[in-house]
Every structure is written in structure tokens, then in C-alpha cells.
């Protein structure tokens, strides 16, 4: 019998249910609070470190504030993610459970077949990359405010300059791959998707949580590829009944980008254009292999309707 064949919600009434709050309503409130808290914490930590290290006195132009010490900016960003997107989400999850069910609610569990899904999820996140690239190009053709495009271009340049710093690999992997993989999966595939699943069902939960995941990054120019990656991570979480395959796949996705950015920046940061896309046959192969891997996970899960009720 699969891990998905049992009922995951055999708890007493949660705080949300006792007080008449819909799960999705609390989610929307928490997303706003988490975003503001994450950004505020990152700014406070970054500013404090700039003063403590004396770096702030070396800034002659406000425009150089962030680019001068990207390492401190990433430390602030990771601190905000850990405190609000990661740890605080555990506290908020208690509003939906009776305390002892927090890890179960977030699907932070290991089953006898989780290792199998770790491998399938890793293969899926690699197989979907050509599709993500084509969606990125399609996204670039959509009308987006010039100010947001310029902001995204500046962010890309900052990250490119940061990754070209000597000896940055381990630091970048921790801040760009490890922290987001853990914290963002707890929030989006753990808390957000589970809560929408209880309110609206699994299909709506996967779609809505993936779109929110894309919007949360404040990169409209990458909304389609980010949402697609979010959907792939959501599927592997639901079908495996565990958050860990998505955590590992998220780490592989971001970690590969870090390694590519350090060793092949001219490829990773090149301007999005039709000429920069991989061959069309690779897109077809990506779609076929991705679909095949999803079907394998679907068949292996042996899920039934009662498992999502």
C-alpha cells in the first residue's frame, strides 16, 4: 500500500476551523506578512552588517550600496528566508493543526519509497529545463512594464558579478541553493499547497501555489518558467507524499545555476532570444521525458481520491 492511501488529516479541529477561518484565507494573509517580514529582515541585517564591517563608509554613491557587498546582501536575504519563510511558517502551520500534526501537514516525512522519488524528482527537474527555457523566451515576448524589466536586468547583472568572485562557490551554494530549497519548499509546497488542497482540492492547489511561487519572486519576466518549476515540484511532493524530493530537486535546480554561472556565465546570463534557445527537438524530448517521469511517479504512488480529501 502506498503512503498516499491513508488519511493525512485525522486531527482534532484546528484553530482555523474552530474560529471559522478558511485555510486559504490564512495562507493569503501569511504570504503578505512573510514577504514583508522577509524583505524587512534582509534589509535590516544587510544594513547592520554594512555598518559593522565599515563597508558603509566606503560607499560614495547610493547606487553602489547593494553592488559593493553582495555577500552581505545574500547573508541578509538568507536570514530573512530562514526566519520568516522557513521557521515562522512552522508556527503559522499550527493554526491549521493541533500541534502534533505540523510535520505531517507540511509533509516533512520520510517513507520507505521516498528515496525512489528523490531520484525521479531529480531526473524530472533536469528533464524539464529545455521546456523552462522555451517558456522563458515566451515570457520575454509578453508585455511587461519597462521598469520591471530594467529591475530584473540589474538583478541579473548583480548576480553575475557576484558569481564571478573568486572562491565564491560554497558561499553561493548555501545562500542560493540550500537555504531557498529548504525554506521555500516548506512555505510553498509544504504550507501553501497543503492549505489550498484542503480548501479547493489538489489540482487547484498545484496551480495556485505554483503561480504564487512565481509571483513571490517579483520577476514577471520569469513568471512562466518559475511557475512551471513550481508545478513540477508540487507534483513530486503530492505524488510522493513527502517534501524531500522537492527540496532535493529545488537544490539541484539552483545549484546547477550557481555552478553554470561561475563556470559558464556567458551561457547562463546571455540575453533571451530565439537564437539562444536549444534545438526544437530538445524541447520535444524534454516534454516527452518529463511526461514519462510524471506518469511513472503517478503509477508508483497508487493514490486514490480519499487520500486528498
Q: Which three cell numbers stand for residue 198?
A: 484542503
CA distance 97 to 112: 25
Rounded to whole angstroms, the Cα distance separating 41 from 78 reads 9
Burial class (CB in 10 A: 0-12, 13-18, 19+), 61: exposed
16 in Cβ contact with 30 (< 8 Å): no
For the chain, give the mean pLDDT.
Answer: 86
DSSP character string of 238-263: HHHT-SHHHHHHHHHHHHHHHHHHHH
142-146, 189-193, 214-218: which range is least confident on average? 142-146
Q: CA nearest 243: which of 185, 178, 307?
A: 185
Crossing angle of helices 129-140 and 114-127, in 10° steps, is 40
Residue 18 predicted with pLDDT over 80:
no
Side-chain half-sphere CA neighbours of 127 within 13 A: 19
pLDDT of the residue at 21:
58
- Contact residues for 184 (Cβ-Cβ < 8 A; gap 6+): 81, 85, 213, 250
Q: What pLDDT is recorded for position 94? A: 86
Per-residue pLDDT, averaged over 159-187, amounts to 92
User: What predicted TM-score, i.e. pTM, was given to this entire model?
Assistant: 0.88
Phi and psi, residue 141, nearest 5°:
-85, -10
Q: In angstroms, rounded to a whole number, what is the distance separating the alpha carbons of residues 68 and 73?
A: 9
The Cα–Cα gap between 31 and 92 comes to 11
Q: Residue 68 pLDDT > 80, yes or no? A: no
Domain with 262 in it: 3-308
The count of domains in the chain is: 1
| Cell numbers for 27 | 495562507
Mean pLDDT is lowest, of 6-20, 56-70, 141-155, for 6-20
Note the pLDDT tens digit of each residue in 248-284: 999 999 999 999 989 887 777 777 788 889 999 999 9
Angle (deg, nearest 10), helices 114-127 and 244-263? 40
C-alpha cell at 289: 521525458
CA pair distance 90, 78, nearest whole angstrom: 17
Question: Does residue 185 register a pLDDT over 80?
Answer: yes
* Element spanning 184, H or E: helix 179-184
Q: Which carries the bigger pLDDT value, residue 143 or residue 305?
A: 143
Quickly list DSSP for 132-143.
HHHHHHHHHTS-
Amino acid at each position: 500500500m502506498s503512503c498516499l492511501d491513508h488519511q493525512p488529516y485525522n486531527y482534532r479541529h484546528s484553530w482555523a476551523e474552530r474560529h471559522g477561518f478558511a485555510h486559504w484565507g490564512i495562507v493569503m494573509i501569511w504570504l503578505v506578512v512573510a514577504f514583508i517580514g522577509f524583505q524587512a529582515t534582509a534589509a535590516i541585517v544587510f544594513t547592520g552588517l554594512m555598518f559593522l564591517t565599515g563597508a558603509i563608509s566606503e560607499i560614495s554613491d547610493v547606487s553602489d550600496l547593494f553592488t559593493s557587498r553582495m555577500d552581505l546582501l545574500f547573508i541578509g536575504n538568507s536570514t530573512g528566508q530562514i526566519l520568516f519563510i522557513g521557521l515562522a511558517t512552522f508556527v503559522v502551520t499550527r493554526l491549521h493543526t493541533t500541534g502534533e500534526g505540523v510535520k505531517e501537514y507540511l509533509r516533512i516525512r520520510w517513507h520507505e519509497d521516498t528515496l525512489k522519488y528523490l531520484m525521479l524528482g531529480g531526473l524530472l527537474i533536469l528533464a524539464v529545463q529545455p521546456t523552462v527555457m522555451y517558456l522563458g523566451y515566451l515570457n520575454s515576448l509578453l508585455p511587461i512594464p519597462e521598469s520591471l524589466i530594467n529591475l530584473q536586468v540589474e538583478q541579473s547583472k548583480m548576480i553575475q558579478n557576484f558569481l564571478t568572485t573568486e572562491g565564491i562557490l560554497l558561499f553561493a551554494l548555501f545562500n542560493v541553493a540550500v537555504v531557498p530549497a529548504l525554506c521555500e519548499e516548506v512555505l510553498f509546497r509544504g504550507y501553501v499547497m497543503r492549505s489550498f488542497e484542503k480548501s479547493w482540492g489538489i489540482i487547484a492547489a498545484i496551480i495556485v501555489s505554483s503561480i504564487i511561487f512565481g509571483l513571490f519572486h517579483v520577476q514577471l519576466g520569469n513568471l512562466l518558467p518559475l511557475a512551471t518549476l513550481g508545478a513540477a515540484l508540487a507534483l513530486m511532493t503530492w505524488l510522493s507524499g513527502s517534501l524531500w524530493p522537492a527540496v532535493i530537486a529545488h537544490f539541484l535546480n539552483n545549484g546547477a545555476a550557481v555552478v553554470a554561472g561561475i563556470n559558464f556565465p556567458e551561457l547562463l546570463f546571455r540575453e533571451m532570444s530565439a537564437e539562444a534557445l536549444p534545438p526544437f527537438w530538445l524541447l520535444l524530448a524534454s516534454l516527452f521525458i518529463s511526461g514519462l517521469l510524471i506518469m511513472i511517479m503517478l503509477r508508483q504512488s497508487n493514490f486514490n481520491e480519499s487520500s486528498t480529501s
